[in-house]
Amino acid sequence: MGRNKIFTKIKKPFLWPACVVLFMALPLVVDSNYITSVLIVIGLYTIIVQGLGILMGYAGQVSFGHGGFFGLGGYAVAVLTTRYDWPPVLALLAAIALPGLVAAGIGRPALKLREFYLALGTMGFGILIHTMFNEAGKLTGGPSGIAGIPYLSTGGLVFDSDIKFFYLVWAVVLLVLFGINNLIRSRVGRALRAIRESEHAAETAGIDTGKLKLKAFIFSALLAGLAGGLYAFYVTFVSPAPFGFNASVQFVLMAVVGGLGTFFGPLLGATLVVLLGEFLRWAIPLVIPGAGGEYEIVFFGLILVLLMIYRPEGLGTLGKILTSPGKKKPGAAEAGIPGGGRGYEVN
């Protein structure tokens, strides 16, 4: 027993860095463009879901419109670099700022809505943005989108290969992980969790819950925009397709699958859902010849519903290793689904 304890004590500080180093070496060892590109996509989605996880898992608010923020980031880069010749780095900053501003604008009225209505409201927003990508042809290129986005470059560094992009994206993932880890242990993190636990008690503790929810919403939009901007630089082409309602549902699914309010939930959720998507893309045409992407969303929706019913706390709480290192008690209480059975009665 005592020996075991000492063993874990020695091991622990090295465990996570070791994992990170091993993971970062992956694209060098496994020389496969396909695997590298899947890992990049997982990284991009993880960034989005990390933000969405703060909104859903901590502030207790749902959004079915983050495909729209993701798209705003992507189109900001596409339009600014190809039509206005902005330097890539500036365009990327705009890709972060634009969704943030839009979120600040729509957030105040939207977050007044509760649960189901908030889901509907954000969904409407996402669809609106998506429609705009399709219809505002002069600016967005309509359904055929915008091609010819330059590589992301800064100084002498040009991100012109999958390997380079892999490192860029995963460096951002780690940075966001670091920031969120700090955030949830701070005064702000406590306030966010308090909103999820009891909004009334949070307010009477002096927390401006409306403002904090808005901040969480803006934060999640910034990250979705960042991921969208990186995505545009990665594929050097944007079209409306990846930014629609399907995407929004997938992001919510990732957040829920991974476990809301858990530290590694976003990473886990994004990984599982992307891998499942890859599997479905391969498997569905075998079963239903000629079937396209429209069947994927059915499966994803089904999984989401089943999870909500049978395992609302997600899969992130299955193993203790997957929860935040500092957290004392994983379990149902840690994983509040927005509004999941928590009443808002005044009493």
Q: Which residues of 60-72 are buried (b: 16+ CB within 10 A; e: fewer)?
A: bbbbbbbbbbbbb
What are phi and psi for residue 238, nearest 5 degrees?
A: -125, 145
CB neighbours of residue 315 within 10 Å: 18
The residue whose two tokens read 């180093």 is 21
Closest by CA position to 92, among listed 218, 225, 241, 242: 225
The stretch near another protein (CB under 8 A) out of 33-41, 92-100, 123-131, 184-192 is 184-192
Among 5, 9, 320, 328, the residue binding another protein under the rule CB under 8 A is 328
CB of 112 to another protein, least distance (A): 13
18 binds another protein (CB under 8 A): no
26 binds another protein (CB under 8 A): no
Task: Give alpha helix (H) positions in 83-114.
Answer: 88-110
Near another protein by CB under 8 A: residue from 24, 38, 97, 188: 188
Eight-class DSSP state of 142 = G
Minimum distance, C-beta of residue 93 to another protein, in the bound complex (Å) = 16
Q: Is the dihedral angle over the CA atoms 67, 226, 207, 194 positive or is it negative?
A: positive
Binding span for another protein by CB under 8 A among 30-38, 80-88, 303-311, 333-341:
333-341
- Does 190 interact with another protein (rule: CB under 8 A)? yes
Is residue 177 close enough to count as binding another protein by CB under 8 A? no
**292/283 Cα distance (integer angstroms):** 11
Q: Quick one: which of 187, 282, 286, 294 contacts another protein (CB under 8 A)?
A: 187
Q: Is 336 in the site for another protein (CB under 8 A)?
A: yes
Backbone φ/ψ region at 25: left (φ over 0), alpha (ψ -120 to 50), beta:
alpha
29 binds another protein (CB under 8 A): no
Among the listed residues 124, 142, 150, 189, the single contact to another protein using CB under 8 A: 189
CA atoms of 175 and 198, how far apart (whole Å): 30
- Assess contact for 88 and 118: CB atoms under 8 A: no
Return the structure tokens found at 235.
């594929």
Contact code string over 238-277 relative to another protein, x by CB under 8 A? -----------------------x----------------
Q: Tell whether residue 208 is a contact of another protein (CB under 8 A).
A: yes
Among 24, 26, 115, 198, binds another protein (CB under 8 A): 198
Residue 208: which of 220, 217, 199, 198 has the closest Cα? Answer: 199
Q: Which residues are CB-contacts of 277 (< 8 A; sequence separation ≥ 6)?
A: 250, 296, 300
Q: What is the footprint of another protein within residues 90-149 (CB under 8 A)?
A: none
For another protein, which stretch binds (CB under 8 A), given 24-32, 118-126, 183-191, 290-298? 183-191
From the CB of 248, what's the least distance to another protein, in Å?
Answer: 24
Instruction: Give me the residues that bind another protein (CB under 8 A), please.
Output: 179-180, 182-183, 186-191, 193-194, 196-198, 200-209, 215, 219, 261, 328-329, 333-334, 336, 345-347
